[in-house]
A and B are shown apart, each in its own frame.
Chain A
């Protein structure tokens, strides 16, 4: 078992800084997911932990050891790659056995351990097959078996589910979560899929432009996003944002935007008088009913079965989206009235994007 500490880790490629001085403590046995858009530096960070990339500066500490100068194979890590990286010219057995063979483990022991790993991943019947004869899900299990066979203390996973179809991806999520519970090893998982992050992680690191935007549990990230970027990145559909100013008045603070006026909870807006703010509201916190103070026009309805998404237009042609109960009688072009739930409004500084309340 091993905790991992990143200290002011930086990686530049020529003039481009991919990872810009990140510091992070990954707890022993934790399932940590790094998430962010393409090019945010998450894979580069993972590659630095694995040893496939050398940091420009900063330290990587696994357990108590600074591993910057250790070869990837000496760090006691296992890694599952985005394309799985199964050796196409070897059977499934040989793929799983590879790590043991290069470590000169006796043949008898190799057979035992490969059999055990295959058993654990339910792929025993595949051992004699070639990787190209395996389906996507089977290949995934082979890649996992190949990783667990060497008993690494830390598992690194670089978008391992991205090549699977939607259903299989959901199944494999559960499988990975179970694997983590069984092995109690440290998992660091990279993805750009927020659903994977929300469902599997103990904690999530949200990255953007080589920096950590927020570190927290999935619910913390969802309910109290630290920046406008995080708020926009998590949640489907994307959070609604409206730019405006906070005004303190005798009847409490209010947010005033173009054609919008929204009362704010007193504790939220006490010191924000006159500040330029982006108000964020998730679609499930937009209420469309007769009591709504603001007028709008329905433009598009997307029934998803359990809910219906209503895309509508508010003042000055601003597009917003609301989640309503299925069976909505709204039709495109129909006028509507809506309001935001005041306690569910997020306020972000317009310039810096930092959370203000």
Chain B
């Protein structure tokens, strides 16, 4: 009897081990395949950024550059006149990354900070005072579901026609938001505000009311409570939210394309400009820019990894 039981137990253990092994292998196979699918464009972009013009669209494709070159990078990072040793395509191109990079950093950082500031306070009001009624938080996110192109043209009309004419008629000064930092910052802040509110609501809802009640009973005013109790508790959430909307803005193309040119140029718009009449799209420099613009996002993500984990795991506030 005992031997039978022991044999059955051994068989069961064996089955369990085998099942776990199969499950582990399947899981890894699926995840690795998925990773390959996700990472392939990234690999192709980095690879292309080191390829010379002839290899960009070679057939059969060159997975890795036959003759690795830094020409693409040299071109996009060039200051002043381009080095004559660079490729013909490159010398035809007058663009460098510096202007686009600077503009993108200024616009995206300012717009994200502005949206974060406004959105946090709005989220506080919605969370604590039920501003707008019980369904307001869903309505806010729905606003963001509208495709940007729907608003882009009407905003363009406002920026380029209505506001300049209205201001010159009323104030005698023609003020235009078209192709200005302010114009792009405003539209970026407005379009990302729903995300900020939505995300910050999740974090602020987590802060127990009693913490604020305790602070009120100790004599703290509303702003003191927000500054000293609520904001420190949602700091991780704010970092995550900032990063999220920063990436949204960093990758935004359509609004920037519609509302700016040529004074303000973000990286995505700049990327699109890398084409020439003779060569078509300049995939090499474009891939180099793509690689470069990915770096800050990755670095930011690594730097604030602690906050990311805390922020995305929610429910981090311990009583």
Could you say which residues of chain A place their CB within 8 Å of the CB of B219? 73-74, 99, 102-103, 150
At the interface, yes or no: A87 with Cβ under 8 Å from chain B? yes
In the complex, the answer to whether A73 meets B211 with C-beta atoms within 8 Å is: no
Could you say which residues of chain B place their CB within 8 Å of the CB of A132? 318
- A83-B319, A88-B319, A89-B232 known; A72-B216 Cβ under 8 A: yes
Q: Mark A38-78, 1 if CB is under 8 A from B, else 0.
A: 00000000000011100000000000000000011110011
At the interface, yes or no: A79 with Cβ under 8 Å from chain B? yes
Could you say which residues of chain B place their CB within 8 Å of the CB of A87? 211, 214-215, 229
User: What distance in Å separates the Cβ of B234 from its nearest Cβ neighbour in chain A?
Assistant: 10
At the interface, yes or no: A82 with Cβ under 8 Å from chain B? yes
In the complex, the answer to whether A81 meets B218 with C-beta atoms within 8 Å is: no
In the complex, the answer to whether A73 meets B210 with C-beta atoms within 8 Å is: no
In the complex, the answer to whether A89 meets B233 with C-beta atoms within 8 Å is: yes
At the interface, yes or no: B30 with Cβ under 8 Å from chain A? no
Select one of A51, A71, A83, A98 contacting B208, CB under 8 A.
A83
Those of B222-246 within 8 Å (CB) of chain A: 224, 228-229, 232-233
Q: Mark B265-278, 1 if CB is under 8 A from A, else 0.
A: 00000000000000
Most chain B CB within 10 A, of A84, A102, A150, is at A102
Could you say which residues of chain A place their CB within 8 Å of the CB of B224? 102
Could you say which residues of chain A place their CB within 8 Å of the CB of B220? 73, 98, 102
Q: Mark A83-101, 1 if CB is under 8 A from B, else 0.
A: 1111111000000001100
CA distance A198 to B183 in the complex (A): 68
Question: Which chain A residue shows the least CB distance to B229?
Answer: A87
Could you say which residues of chain A place their CB within 8 Å of the CB of B21? none
CA distance A132 to B316 in the complex (A): 12
Could you say which residues of chain B place their CB within 8 Å of the CB of A73? 216-221
CA distance A146 to B210 in the complex (A): 14
At the interface, yes or no: B13 with Cβ under 8 Å from chain A? no
Q: How many B residues touch the partner, as a band?
A: 20 to 34
In the complex, the answer to whether A88 meets B317 with C-beta atoms within 8 Å is: yes
In the complex, the answer to whether A81 meets B214 with C-beta atoms within 8 Å is: yes
In the complex, the answer to whether B213 meets A81 with C-beta atoms within 8 Å is: yes
CA distance A99 to B217 in the complex (A): 8
CA distance A89 to B235 in the complex (A): 11
User: What distance in Å separates the Cβ of A165 from its nearest Cβ neighbour in chain B?
Assistant: 17
Could you say which residues of chain A place their CB within 8 Å of the CB of B211? 85, 87
CA distance A146 to B214 in the complex (A): 10
Those of B261-319 within 8 Å (CB) of chain A: 317-319
Most chain A CB within 10 A, of B216, B232, B317, is at B216
Question: Which chain B residue shows the least CB distance to A77?
Answer: B217
Select one of A72, A83, A88 contacting B217, CB under 8 A.
A72
Select one of B217, B232, B233, B317 contacting A79, CB under 8 A.
B217
CA distance A102 to B214 in the complex (A): 12
Q: Mark B113-130, 1 if CB is under 8 A from A, else 0.
A: 000000000000000000
User: What distance in Å separates the Cβ of B44 from its nearest Cβ neighbour in chain A?
Assistant: 45
Select one of A52, A71, A88, A146 contacting B213, CB under 8 A.
A52
Most chain A CB within 10 A, of B218, B220, B318, is at B218
- A interface residues (Cβ-Cβ under 8 A, vs B): 50-52, 71-74, 77-79, 81-89, 98-99, 102-103, 131-132, 146, 150
Task: Kindly list 13 other residue pairs between chains A and B, CB separation below 8 angstroms, not including A98-B220, A150-B219.
Answer: A50-B217, A73-B218, A73-B221, A79-B217, A82-B210, A85-B210, A85-B319, A87-B211, A87-B229, A88-B233, A98-B228, A102-B219, A132-B318
A selection of 25 A-B contacts at a CB cut-off of 8 Å is A50-B213, A51-B216, A51-B217, A52-B213, A73-B216, A73-B218, A73-B219, A77-B217, A78-B217, A79-B214, A81-B213, A81-B214, A83-B208, A83-B210, A84-B319, A85-B210, A85-B319, A86-B319, A87-B211, A87-B214, A87-B229, A89-B232, A98-B215, A132-B318, A150-B219
Closest 8 CB pairs of A and B: A73-B219, A99-B218, A85-B214, A85-B210, A102-B220, A81-B210, A89-B232, A72-B216
